[in-house]
Amino acid sequence: MPYLAIDQVDDFVEAVLHKYVKPDWKDISMPLQKYWFAERLFSKAKADEMEGDLLTWKLQIANPGNFKVTGLYADDTTSRVNLLTHGSMNWSVNTTNYTYDITEAIFRTSKVQILNYLDVQEHAMYNDYFKGMELLMMGTGPTSPTQAPRPPASLLWWIQPYNGNASSLSTVFGTLTVGGTSSGFLGMDPTGFEAVGTGGILSATYSGWRNRCGVYTAFSELDAIDTIVECMDKCGFTPAHSYSELAPGSKPQWELLTTYSRLKEARKLAQSSNDNMGSELAKYKGAVLLRGVPMVWIPAWSNQDFGLAQTNGPVVGVNWATFKYYFASGLRQAKRAPYQDKDKHNVRWRVMDDSGQIVCFDRRQNFIVTSTATITESN
């Protein structure tokens, strides 16, 4: 098979790469067992693009309150209030790349060998993207409204744990005993965003914009499990009148995301509870279910080497129907044609740019329950 001429290499990378059958290989480079951004958000966002400098959405915050019981010759009364506000988020921008030298020996071999070489480079570039986005999605999120460069919001940015500060709120956690109160809608704005709010909406002003949070001292049926079940009960909001929802669905699409140590404890409880028909926790075909909702562990929160290992033993009730990943228009994994390095005339850059944002349309349908004791995860 004839070799590629040096001036043909870039065209081959840009236009011919996808046309050939590629030899297979095995990738053992990725550190985590599963990547939630790729599975839960990226796959749903194929057509979700939005134009403009900001990602914006509407939020109803009030009703006029004009309902009343009436009688003969009763006077009409009415009131007008502001029914809507809007949330907004800045876009986050990311990039990744790979490089090659057009004089590399591989480019003087057959097209199939060249293809295999370049396909590995492209695959590794996507690996970098999904690993990086998993790190951001499962991390703490932005630290200030003016942070630059700006990471996207994360699950733990949207779903805030109890911060111990309830002085201005009408409810606080009671004693952690059977029958006590160990959860409430006290998930406030992230640290650093108290002045601007979560997505531009102040949690201190609008109680319906707070997620639920709870605490436990022991991972037992009467403490942690009872608190999680209470959160599931009280986060199940359904509309009284149907409307065109941003996050439609009458039933929550929950997953209970946790760390590996908490899943192990849940398995032990489920094993001992299967004979108890009244138990909320069950083990079925190897999975742990709480009221039929799977409890799954997040490798990013359990792997010490990944840098996000959680120490508060979280169980996060995520209603995926309320979350979306939007791409900025025209910047969904936009791959650029190979271009020449400014200092090395034979080196080419292959760059992929991406811009998007993770948004939660209804925080109160999500919750987080954390331990009052420090929990150490192990790989």
Q: Report if residue 8 sits inside a domain.
A: no
Q: Report if residue 307 sits inside a domain.
A: yes
Range of the domain at 321: 36-57+88-163+173-237+251-379
Q: Report if residue 178 sits inside a domain.
A: yes
Give 278's Cβ-side CA count (13 Å radius): 3
Tell me whether residue 16 is exposed, middle or buried, using C-beta atoms within 10 angstroms of its C-beta: 0 to 12, 13 to 18, 19 or more. middle
Q: Report if residue 246 sits inside a domain.
A: no
Q: Report if residue 144 sits inside a domain.
A: yes
Q: What is the pLDDT of residues 234-291, one digit of tens each?
A: 998 766 655 555 555 545 688 999 999 999 999 998 887 665 545 688 877 778 999 8
Q: Report if residue 100 sits inside a domain.
A: yes
Nearest to 316 by CA among 363, 251, 265, 248: 363
Nearest to 161 by CA among 225, 200, 215, 232: 215
Pick the more confident residue, 341 or 165: 341
Q: What is the pLDDT of residues 100-129, one digit of tens each?
A: 998 888 888 877 788 788 888 888 999 999
For 266-303, letters b (16+ CB in 10 Å) and e give: bbebbeebeeeeeebbbbeeeebbbeebebebbbbbbb
Model pLDDT, residue 319:
92
Q: Report if residue 72 sits inside a domain.
A: no
Q: How far is it, in rounded angstroms, from Cα 181 to Cα 159? A: 20
Token representation of residue 98: 């790979």
Lowest mean pLDDT among 38-42, 97-101, 116-120: 38-42
Asked whether the predicted pLDDT for residue 180 surpasses 60, the reply is: no
Nearest to 238 by CA among 228, 230, 249: 249
Q: Report if residue 94 sits inside a domain.
A: yes
Q: How far is it, in rounded angstroms, from Cα 214 to Cα 186? A: 9
Model pLDDT, residue 171:
46
Question: What's the chain's average pLDDT?
Answer: 83
Residue range 93-102: mean pLDDT, rounded:
93
pTM of the model: 0.84
Asked whether the predicted pLDDT for residue 175 surpasses 50, the reply is: no
Q: How far is it, in rounded angstroms, from Cα 17 to Cα 25? A: 17
* Three-state secondary structure call for residue 261: helix
As for how many domains the chain has, the answer is 1
